[in-house]
């Protein structure tokens, strides 16, 4: 079961950039879904997701309206702009579901490069995704968003009460942001080279000129032309091998979650990236080589909030 979930996750994640932006499908053009480019999707929680969320928090479906939710009273409005339950967008999405918080589901269409539209860049000037808007104030960066949600909404805590353990949790989330995610992004972005290289040069030049983030722009310049070198790809694979070794070692002590018996933001952060490993690196991440990782993935897939993620795919 978990391998099926992992493969499904990777199909979606393969079209995403790991560093906070969606890697849009280069073969798609603006407006190909019947909506004008720039008109990004605005969806409230679907009825099914709403009912699931209310079930998770032991509330009636009618109480799913934010004004009736106890954690919302006096706390303001939450809106999450994201690309669906993959990579960095998954991080705050899963946190919101785990905490049972009502929010506006604002799904951006990466195939139409909506994160570079002027309308969205008024919210996120560099086109960074995901973005949380709380009562009109913008919170950026997926890891920071989750910490913010923990600070503001203290029910259903996802951080250890012990300050040393909380520091350890942050070491693990920091590792994903600074080491794991960049390596995974190289392999994921490289997979788009056959498609990106077929885009009309004038169109790609226009797309590149509209990318406000210099680092992302440089990556797309490479992806749409030569792709990453074999040396760069080999270095990314080496680092992902280190990632699998580190995670397997941490989970091999027999605990259910990264920090022991408590499920935390560290588990959420790692789950945003780990499901792609068995497919991208099957030789190093499989039931024989990394049984603890695979068992952890099974436990993650079994969580109600994780199952609810399926309702948020584009």
pLDDT tens across 257-314, in order?
Answer: 999 999 999 999 999 999 999 998 999 999 999 999 999 999 999 999 999 999 998 8
- Determine, yes or no, domain membership for 5: no
- Determine, yes or no, domain membership for 3: no
The answer to whether residues 205 and 245 belong to one domain is yes
- Determine, yes or no, domain membership for 292: yes
The answer to whether residues 41 and 167 belong to one domain is no
Helix (H, G, I), strand (E, B) or coil at 144: helix
CATH number of the domain encompassing residue 275: 1.20.1050.10
Reference 18, options 194, 209, 219, 158; nearest CA is: 219
Q: Give me 41's structure tokens.
A: 């999707």
The answer to whether residues 116 and 216 belong to one domain is no
The answer to whether residues 147 and 213 belong to one domain is no
Predicted local distance difference test score (pLDDT) of residue 60:
29
- Helices 2-13/291-301 angle, 10° precision: 80
> How many domains are contained in the chain?
2
What domain range includes position 33? 15-159+307-312
Least confident of 57-61, 254-258, 300-304: 57-61
Predicted local distance difference test score (pLDDT) of residue 40:
39
Least confident of 155-169, 175-189, 190-204, 216-230: 190-204
Neighbours of 164 (CB within 10 A): 8
- Determine, yes or no, domain membership for 68: yes
Neighbours of 25 (CB within 10 A): 18
pTM comes to 0.78
The answer to whether residues 118 and 246 belong to one domain is no
Neighbours of 221 (CB within 10 A): 15
The answer to whether residues 113 and 201 belong to one domain is no
pLDDT at 35 over 60: no
């Amino acid at each position: 079961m978990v391998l099926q979930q992992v493969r499904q996750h990777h199909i979606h994640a393969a079209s995403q950039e790991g560093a906070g932006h969606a890697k849009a499908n280069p073969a798609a053009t603006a407006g190909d879904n019947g909506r004008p480019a720039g008109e990004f999707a605005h969806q409230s929680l679907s009825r099914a997701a709403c009912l699931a969320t209310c079930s998770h928090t032991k509330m009636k479906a009618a109480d799913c309206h934010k004004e009736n939710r106890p954690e919302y009273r006096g706390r303001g409005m939450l809106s999450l702009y994201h690309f669906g339950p993959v990579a960095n967008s998954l991080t705050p999405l899963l946190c919101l579901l785990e905490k049972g918080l009502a929010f506006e589901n604002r799904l951006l269409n990466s195939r139409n490069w909506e994160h570079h539209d002027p309308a969205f860049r008024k919210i996120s000037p560099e086109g960074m995704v995901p973005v949380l808007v709380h009562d009109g104030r913008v919170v950026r960066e997926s890891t920071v968003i989750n910490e913010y949600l923990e600070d503001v909404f203290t029910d259903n805590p996802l951080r250890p009460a012990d300050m040393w353990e909380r520091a350890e949790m942050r070491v693990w989330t920091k590792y994903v942001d600074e080491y794991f995610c960049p390596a995974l992004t190289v392999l994921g972005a490289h997979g788009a080279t056959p498609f990106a290289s077929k885009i009309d040069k004038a169109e790609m030049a226009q797309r590149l000129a509209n990318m406000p983030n210099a680092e992302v722009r440089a990556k797309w310049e490479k992806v749409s032309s030569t792709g990453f070198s074999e040396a760069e790809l080999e270095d990314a694979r080496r680092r992902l091998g280190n990632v699998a070794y580190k995670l397997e070692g941490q989970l091999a002590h027999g605990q259910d979650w990264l920090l022991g018996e408590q499920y935390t933001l560290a588990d959420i952060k790692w789950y945003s990236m780990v499901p792609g490993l068995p497919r991208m690196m099957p030789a190093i991440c499989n039931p024989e080589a990394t049984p603890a990782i695979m068992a952890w993935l099974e436990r993650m897939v079994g969580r109600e909030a994780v199952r609810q993620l399926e309702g948020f795919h584009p």
